[in-house]
Amino acid sequence: MTPPEETLLEAQTREAIDRKLTDAGWVIQDKKRINLYESLGVAVREMDTDTGPADYLLFIDGKACGIIEAKREGTDLGGVAEQSARYATSHIKFIERWVAEDQPLPLLYEATNHEIRFRDERDPHPRSRNIFHFHRPETLLDWLQEEETLRARLQQPPGLNTENLRKCQIDAIRGIEHSLKQGKSRALLQMATGSGKTYTAVTEVYRLAKFAKVKRVLFLVDRGNLATNAKDEFEQFVIPHDGRKFTQHYNVNILGRAGIPDATKVTISTIQRLYSQLTNQELDDEADEHSGFEVEGSTLNKEPRPVSYNPDIPIEEFDVIIIDECHRSIYNLWRQVLE
């Protein structure tokens, strides 16, 4: 007897989720054979709760931290957040939790075969957002050990030292930080030529690193020679009331064939160089000197560049992405590379 189509679709969803979790470094277990210390990150299928079985219960270092609510392909995940929230507040016998019993498990996912949404219940205004892939267990451990989430830390930026800043730069920085405070994931900064856009960006990167504890920033430039100019700007930036240069506090590197060093705070790259790293393809230096916009314009089929998960550059590699000349570099062929 052939299983109903709905059952087949649900099985396909579970297979896809299992594969993605495994790619991100998780161990998948059945609830009848649980060893929560087999790996740092363990995902248990159909874990029993007092409100019914959760599709996946996530454990970090042996303690429950989150839920994955799995739905068959075609389901509108926008209406599924309530279900994951219900399981997050359910009682589960004989397990330790990262939060108190009367608090919801914080890290919640909703997923189909091809779509994943995520939210952190500890954010000031938690809401589900689309992400490309599941996070690594190591990343979730770092987040769970922090006193506040990144979005919470963005709520109270300190006063801006306006010394050496033009009015347009002051307005730009305050506008960016107001947008971040509202929880918006994107902001467009439009400034006239010669008004100091790069200096403004470096100032904001410093504030995010210093006060919001941003771990890594990707600074995208339009072509290779502009990467050197951007690095010079970081090296020349003097920290207010400190006197030292940005690079005396934080490492700044231009992305090359060797990849991203662990200690790097700011990685400067072109979109094509980043794409070559994601896809493990060689990119010669000459190709790096052409604008991503020019590469797009010379491409006949105009198809978006295919992107697949690369565990060496996971989705959480960068907390913030700054795109110089974004009107040239991000759209059409390249946008999905960043998302």
Judge whether residue 329 has pLDDT over 50: no
Indicate whether this model's pTM tops 0.85: yes
45-49, 146-150, 283-287: which range is least confident on average?
Answer: 283-287
The string over 27-47, giving b where at least 16 C-beta atoms fall within 10 Å of a residue's C-beta and e elsewhere, is: bbbeeeebebeebbbbbbbeb
What pLDDT score was predicted for residue 283? 79
- The closest of 315, 292, 116 to 216, measured between CA atoms, is 315
What pLDDT score was predicted for residue 145? 97
For residue 243, how far is the Cα from the chain centroid? 32
Query: Which pLDDT band, with edges at 50, 70 and 90, does 292 fall under?
Result: low
Specify whether domain 5-145 bears CATH 3.90.1570.30. yes
Judge whether residue 129 has pLDDT over 90: yes
Q: Give per-residue pLDDT as tens, 199-227.
A: 999 999 999 999 999 999 999 998 888 89
| Cα–Cα separations (whole angstroms), residue 177 to 50, 245, 289 | 42, 23, 32
What pLDDT score was predicted for residue 300? 44
- Residues sharing a CB contact under 8 Å with residue 299, sequence separation 6 or more, in sequence order: 333
Which residue has better confidence, 21 or 7?
21
Sign of CA dihedral 37, 98, 65, 155: negative
Judge whether residue 301 has pLDDT over 90: no
109-118, 247-256, 286-295: which range is least confident on average?
Answer: 286-295
Query: Which pLDDT band, with edges at 50, 70 and 90, does 8 fall under?
Result: low
Query: Which pLDDT band, with edges at 50, 70 and 90, does 78 fall under?
Result: confident
Judge whether residue 323 has pLDDT over 60: yes
Environment class of residue 149 by beta-carbon count within 10 Å: exposed (0-12), middle (13-18) or buried (19+)? Answer: middle
Q: State which H helix or E strand residue 109 sits in.
A: strand 107-111
Sign of CA dihedral 280, 282, 283, 285: positive
CATH says 151-338 is which class?
alpha beta
Query: Per-residue pLDDT averaged across 229-249, rounded?
Result: 94
Rounded Cα distance between 245 and 13, Å, is 50
Environment class of residue 280 by beta-carbon count within 10 Å: exposed (0-12), middle (13-18) or buried (19+)? Answer: exposed
What pLDDT score was predicted for residue 245? 96
Query: Per-residue pLDDT averaged across 80-109, rounded?
Result: 93
Query: Per-residue pLDDT averaged across 127-153, rounded?
Result: 96
Judge whether residue 184 has pLDDT over 80: yes
Which residue has better confidence, 273 or 107?
107
One DSSP character per residue, 261-276 reads -TTEEEEEEEHHHHHH
Task: Return the domain boundaries, the chain.
Answer: 5-145, 151-338
| Cα–Cα separations (whole angstroms), residue 160 to 165, 241, 334 | 10, 12, 34
Percent of the chain exceeding pLDDT 70 equals: 88
Judge whether residue 294 has pLDDT over 80: no
Query: Which pLDDT band, with edges at 50, 70 and 90, does 34 fall under?
Result: very high
